[in-house]
Amino acid sequence: MFCHLTPLPALLSFYMLFACLILSSCETNRLEVDVSDIQVPEVYVSRFDRDFFALNAGNISRSLPEMQEKYPGFTDLFVKNILCPRGITDSACIPEIIRFVTDKDMRAAYDDCQKVFPDLNQTEQKLTDVFRHYNYYYPNAKLPHVVAMMSGFNYAIAAADSSFSIGLEMYLGSKARFYEMIQFPNYKRVNMRKEYIVTDLVHAWMAKAFPNTNKSGTLLNEMIYQGKLLYLEDALMPDTHDSIKIGFTKNQLDWCVENENNMWGFLIKNKLLYSNDITMVTKFTGEAPFTTGFVKESPGRTGVWIGWQIVRKYVGSNPSITFEQLMQEIDAQKILSMSKYKP
């Protein structure tokens, strides 16, 4: 490493620049793919939220069956999970629906959602790009339908049989008035912004499409599995910043980069990788304001970030590995070994 700025002879400078250009031209990013010719059905996020909050005592007997027809399966599922455990067929359900859509606070939250989300064009455009990338890698895969809803502050993203729903009230912005009322922790509010809708949805979609079939329960297994999901986000959203994909602030992401070696050394020194203690696994992979045992400048889920770097190194060191092979490989130790990960 050069520690001072001494001018190099002109000829030597030229050759060094030429060598750098040659080396950089040889490096390719396998995730930089052209999807402009990939055709996908028009992406439209259905506004279930508007249809549901249009219900009232005078129209519900007519409009609710129409909603069941317009949103087959989803209307019943929504009502069962949010309002009435026994479902729409329960006669007690109608008053619960009316109470929900006329509640002062829910109506105020709904009004705020309409201001923040007068349309979902930006989300639809981003999803179109995601779907094109997904069909590039999985040409015959079925793409999900996406629905906007208001879940009573219960769900940000919810998965149904063939669709995913977005709880709009969970993305009103970090300083939304309701988050203080409900007392959401500050570290969660940071990500409760519209910028995180697509990444949250893609993460839920990939987790459903590629469930963790390794039941060993070790910290390493969870780190690698979560790292694979984030690598899929790399592939489907190559232009999205890492901080958005993993939900870290820029400072938290910078901290991880600067302390990668120290974090890895801590896990190795304390023999934590093969621990299947659920408390220990959650400590490094669960949501938290910071990682207990590290400084408060650290984010929670530092183990997930490390798992992400291991998977990236694994794929980079083994360029012949396909996405199918990556997701089918459940041996976390094999992935770690073949990654040659040494921060």
Supply φ then ψ for residue 87, to 5 degrees: 90, 180
> CA 340 to CA 39: how far, in whole Å?
38
Confidence of residue 11 (pLDDT cuts 50, 70, 90): very low
Over residues 99-111, the mean pLDDT reads 97
Cα dist from 302 to 30, 163, 333, whole Å: 26, 30, 19
pLDDT of 9 reads 41
- Helix, strand or coil for residue 170? helix
Q: Which pairs count as long-range contacts for 205-213, CB under 8 Å and 24+ apart, including other chains?
A: 205/144, 205/159, 205/164, 206/232, 206/233, 206/236, 208/159, 210/327, 213/330
- Give yes or no for residue 28 having a pLDDT over 70: no
Handedness of CA 269, 273, 275, 277 (dihedral sign): positive
- Give yes or no for residue 26 having a pLDDT over 50: no
Handedness of CA 194, 198, 199, 204 (dihedral sign): positive
> CA 106 to CA 227: how far, in whole Å?
37
Over residues 21-27, the mean pLDDT reads 38
CB-based contact 87:80 (threshold 8 Å): yes
Convert the pLDDT of each residue in 156-166 to its tens digit: 999 988 899 99
Q: Which positions ≥6 away from 67 have C-beta within 8 Å?
A: 48, 51, 52, 55, 75
- Give yes or no for residue 273 having a pLDDT over 70: yes
- Give yes or no for residue 14 having a pLDDT over 80: no
Convert the pLDDT of each residue in 171-205 to its tens digit: 999 999 999 999 999 999 999 999 999 999 999 99
CB-based contact 298:290 (threshold 8 Å): yes
pLDDT of 74 reads 93
- Give yes or no for residue 16 having a pLDDT over 50: no
Measured at the CA of 193, the angle between CA 191 and CA 196, to 5 degrees, comes to: 70
CA-wise closest residue to 290 among 298, 281, 282: 298
| DSSP, res 65 | H
- Give yes or no for residue 220 having a pLDDT over 60: yes
Greater confidence (196 vs 6) lies with 196
- Give yes or no for residue 18 having a pLDDT over 80: no
Confidence of residue 1 (pLDDT cuts 50, 70, 90): very low
- Give yes or no for residue 76 having a pLDDT over 60: yes
Confidence of residue 20 (pLDDT cuts 50, 70, 90): very low
Supply φ then ψ for residue 288, to 5 degrees: -165, 160
Residue 80: other Cβ atoms inside 10 A: 16
Residue type, 122: Q
> CA 333 to CA 214: how far, in whole Å?
12
Over residues 323-343, the mean pLDDT reads 95
Over residues 249-268, the mean pLDDT reads 97
pLDDT of 90 reads 85
Over residues 102-127, the mean pLDDT reads 97
| DSSP, res 300 | S
Bridge partners (DSSP) of residue 145 are 163
- Give yes or no for residue 281 having a pLDDT over 50: yes
Query: For the chain, how many residues are written?
Result: 343
Convert the pLDDT of each residue in 318-332 to its tens digit: 999 998 999 999 999
- Give yes or no for residue 121 having a pLDDT over 90: yes
CB-based contact 162:142 (threshold 8 Å): yes
- Give yes or no for residue 37 having a pLDDT over 60: yes
pLDDT of 161 reads 81
Mean pLDDT of the chain: 91
Question: C-alpha dihedral over 244, 245, 249, 253, to 10 degrees?
Answer: -140
pLDDT of 65 reads 94
